[in-house]
Amino acid sequence: MRDFAGKTAFITGGASGAGLGQAKVFADAGCNIVIADIRQDAIDAALAELKARGANAHGIRLDITDRAAFAAAADEAERVFGPVHLLFNTAGVSIFGPLEKASYDDYDWIMGVNWWGVVNGMQSFVPRMLAHGEGGHIVNTSSLGCFVATSGAGIYSASKFAVHGITMAMRDALKDKGIGVSVLCPANIRSNIAESIKTRPAHLANSGYAVDEREIAALQEIYAQGMDPEELAGHVKDAIEDDRFYIIPYPEARPMLEAAFQQVLDALPPIDSDPEGQARRATAMGRYVEARRQMDAERYGQPA
């Protein structure tokens, strides 16, 4: 997609941080903007900022873990601006601490927002995007934490690994349907994600982690040095224009990723080993893929 004029973008977490950066950049490109966020005061401030720069913008208060509310938000976006062409699943939360100390509520909160929020966005909009037939693009925000994980950010990384995987699968699903798909894997962003704990719902308050103002302040100091959200959104726009899957505009990540992927490659036997086993497995997989094509053609009307 290269022409954004008149297109409509729906952005979760759109009232601050990376989401607001996306709202500004794509508004400047001519999009109608719908920002969805859980905080009404942040929505109000973001709308004032967007409209001051001439944007056609609309705000919706949304808990992205609420599927019925997400569907209602999609309805509202279409009533206001018509079909949605750009979906940015950007909202996310984090909490840090030793993984073995985590509670079920810690898992449910982080996975609910970071994983199920993305799923809910795609479930709400992909069928609509296919139905309107005007094309589009989906950008799911993962993290550099989708490639490596440590104990301190274990649940967060698990959620981002999942987002990476489902985004790759959705790219495959939509590759012939005029809808592009990208995964954004940022490192540090100038955002207020350090304060996401303040949006944690009361029914998931039983945490294994002790988070206080000292930790929030320390994280804010780190995030203050992060990439500017509008700069990051500019990279997102470039990727959409070029129909690129990965968006990772952080050169400092190269050594870490090279080391991580080298570990994977080092775990593999030499390519010329076990030729009989390789041939047997390849033949079996080829038969399955062909049978699957035929079954899918019968079941779902997809080309064989």
The two structure tokens encoding residue 231: 């700069």
CA distances from 163 to 98, 141, 257 (A): 22, 8, 18
Q: Tokens 């080391």: give the residue.
A: 259
Using a 10 angstrom Cβ sphere, with 0-12 exposed, 13-18 middle and 19 or more buried, the burial of residue 20 is buried
Coil/strand/helix, residue 211: coil
Helices and strands of the chain, counted as H and E runs = 10, 7
Query: 156 an active-site residue?
Result: yes
The two structure tokens encoding residue 241: 């224009």
Q: CA torsion 105→108→111→116, rounded to 10°?
A: -150
The answer to whether the CB of 141 falls within 8 A of the CB of 121 is no
Q: Pick the catalytic residue: 107, 156, 209, 300?
A: 156
Residues forming the active site:
156
